[in-house]
Amino acid sequence: MKKIILILMFLTLVLQATTPTTENVTKLYIATFERAPDSAGLSYWVNDSGLSLEGIAQSFFDQDETKATYPESATDGDFINAIYDNLFNRSADSDGFNYWLEEITQGKIEKSVFILAVVTGALGDDESILKNKTTIGLIFATQGNSNLEDAKNIMQDIDADSSSVSTTLENYNLTDTSSQETTITTGNALVVSKTVNAQWDGGFCDNIIISNPTDSDILWNIEIPVEGNIYTLWNANYSYNSTSKILTASGVEWNKIAKANNTSEFGYCATTTTTDNTNTQEEQGEEDTTTLPTIGQSDFTVADYTEVLGLSLQFYEAQRSSGPFTLVYWREAAGLSDGSDVGVDLSGGWFDAGDGVKFNLPMAYSVTMLNWSIIAFGDAYLGQGGYGEQQTYYALDYLLKTYNQGADLSNPSDDSIYYQVGNVTADHNFWGPPQDMTMDRPTYSCTSSLKCSEVAGEMAAAFASGAIALASNMHYAATLIEKAKKVYLYGKTYQGNNGYTATEGAYTSYSGYNDELAWGAVWLYLATNEESYLNDAKSFLSSANDSTYWAHNWDNVSNGTRLLLYKITKESQYKSSLDQHFDYWMSGINYTSGGLAFLNEWGSLRYASTTAFLALVYAQELSSGLQYSSLVNFARSQIDYILGDNPRNSSYVIGYGLNPPINPHHRASHNSSTHSISSPTNNEFILNGALVGGPKSANDFDYQDDRTDYIANEVATDYNAGFTGAVAGLIELGE
């Protein structure tokens, strides 16, 4: 009886509080009711949302009915204990009250959401009943119904049968208005759930998962509320109404169909506040007080980083398609007839990851990043005997072959780029070492009518940066500059991406091509000192999708472009954006308890290490001071975490340190003679230097050395690109 009284009192408070939203209830339900035990549930969402139970308790005691039920001497503590005793006391919750109460320090979540959770979760029902109660509780509260007898009866009437929702709606004259919040416009059997990727003061990133529990494929199109201004979105086409705060999204070519009994996924980042960053901390004379999570003391030395640098470069040799193989003795040549379907020798180049496709976009990005690290931290490479430069030569030689620049150097109308070799589906359906591939390996190209500005801009960056990194080879550098100018002219003249279609989602550029054209232009300016390229870089960057609250990566190179523009111009607009970006990574992003800055489940270590590289390049520009120290400390903390200074006491670099991975998602190193991902049990060869994806959440232990888990155990040339540069930076800066 006491439990029912509490429920009714809470419902009274629901009706007087801010109206709950589907967005908040969905988040609450996923975080709480689908997590067991309750210690993982309640503490999770109050920790993320900053709930203050003391504040809710005070509001509760302001209600007349509460005062009539509890004596005058009742305290907030009495109320909090009542919540625990009556509503959240589940047997598996051993630590219970003390555990989650200690986590609650700030107040941000709507009271109504908390109360609604109490209403729907109070009776300790199973998952199906709780889902139905969540639905009805939301509708009841949003329609302002004040009939407490109805509330009690509704909670008693709901059962696990999905039809009980519609029956209850009809019996109590309620209208399902939830479709105004989250609408499935095609295929109403789809289930939409939201998880928070990152959250900071002024913004957030969400992942949306669209589940299709039916036996039929469904073309999806959804509307969901987003309380913020979206500035980047991936894996979907979308429109956003900033007035109604409604996001309308549909799938891109490769994920527009929600497959039967499967899921589709997309995500976005949005800002909730506008920050004036006109004046930097240094301009205001303020000290940099950025603090990072406390982690274990690292013992890694320059000698350790030097060893890791050599191993990381060795990974690129392992990714070679056709050889030669000097240190990676176990690789065999493959793809020797690549390009024969178009009459061009396209042997060579890097396989992008654990498969056998050659994609120009991530390959050009990766070699640009290697070139940049050689340019920025060249002394670190002196101990490698030219091995780093060998890797860049190999990729650049291939990229030069893929560009057919036509006869007229001033007119790109007859230019073409062979941007991909290998069909994604056919390749991914085969599991075996590359030399065993027998499937057709078609060549895909873009032209003046079938455009691919993303690829052209990235290739221009690769050639121009290569000309700087390999300047001692004057003839080769001159060739690279000539090709960089022409391929950039092609991408700039024929802007678009309608010809870049064969990646099937593997490397589709969701950020658009303005960032790549800016990236190519700024590297061309550095290679030629021609002012027109600097002006182009500024112009294209101003039109590019912002990635301040994301990371530099193969798809969006805005942050790296901005860093180079700051080094060139010293303009405050670029410094301000850089400071905002690194402030987010050092104090706004989610951190694991062990100190990893966690951005996204897919290649979490790739994002952290690439940001570490940019931080070191930025620190090098600053040369000293508090901000310099913060940037270097951040970078070292991320690299040391990767090398083993983490709660797992395990390295994430294959072939290095304690307990490194041995089963990456990599066909060549697995070397299955039966072409089965499960045989042999362990990979036959050690893929030295490869950086695996890493933890899939902000939980240090959310990682398994499992070959079939390509999210956590994929390896890729772009993963190692920023990591290699960061390690080189720590060597050169003597850290």
Cite the DSSP H helix spans in 322-437: 360-376, 387-402, 424-428
Q: Which amino acid is at 673?
A: S
Dist. CA 233–CA 151, nearest whole Å:
40
Bridge-based pairing of strands 203-212 and 229-234 is unpaired
In degrees to the nearest 10, what's the CA dihedral of 346, 350, 352, 357? 30
Distance between CA atoms of 372 and 732, rounded to whole angstroms?
Answer: 14
Q: Tell me the H-state helices in 88-146.
A: 96-103, 111-121, 127-142
Start-end of H helices in 408-499 = 424-428, 453-469, 474-493
Q: Which tokens belong to 643? A: 């090398």
Which of 93, 714, 732, 735 is flagged as catalytic? 714
Give, in degrees to the nearest 5, the angle at Cα 494 between 528 and 441. Answer: 95
Among the options 666, 670, 700, 718, which is catalytic? 670
* 681 burial level (CB within 10 Å; 0-12, 13-18, 19+): exposed
The verdict on whether 665 is a catalytic residue reads yes
| Residue 677 near residue 700, CB atoms below 8 Å | no
Q: Could you give the count of Cα atoms lying within 13 Å of 428 in the half-sphere of its Cβ?
A: 11
| Nearest residue to 180 (alpha-carbon basis) of 241, 236, 120 | 241
Active site residue 355: yes
3-state secondary structure of 569: helix
Compute the distance between CA of residue 138 and CA of residue 153 in angstroms, rounded to an integer. 15
Does residue 581 carry a catalytic annotation?
no
3-state helix, strand, coil in the chain (%, to 5): 50, 10, 40
Residues 6 or more apart whose Cβ sits within 8 Å of residue 212: 187, 189, 190, 191, 218, 220, 258, 259, 260, 261, 262, 263, 264
- What is the per-residue DSSP string for 679-710? BSSS-SS--TTPBP---SSS-TT-----TT-H
The helix or strand, by DSSP H or E, that contains position 55, with its residue range, turns out to be helix 53-61
Instruction: Say which of 181, 338, 355, 579 is annotated catalytic.
Output: 355
Q: CA-to-CA distance for 577 and 600, rounded, in angstroms?
A: 21
Place of tokens 């066909």: 667
Q: Which of 536, 579, 645, 665 is catalytic?
A: 665
For the question of residue 714 being annotated catalytic, the response is yes
Q: In what order do the strands lie in the sheet with 221-225?
A: 183-184, 221-225, 246-251, 236-241
Q: Distance between CA 353 and CA 359 in Å, rounded?
A: 10
Beta-bridge mates of residue 714: 665
Q: What is the DSSP letter of 217?
A: -
Active site residue 552: no
What are the residue numbers of the active site?
355, 665, 670, 705, 714
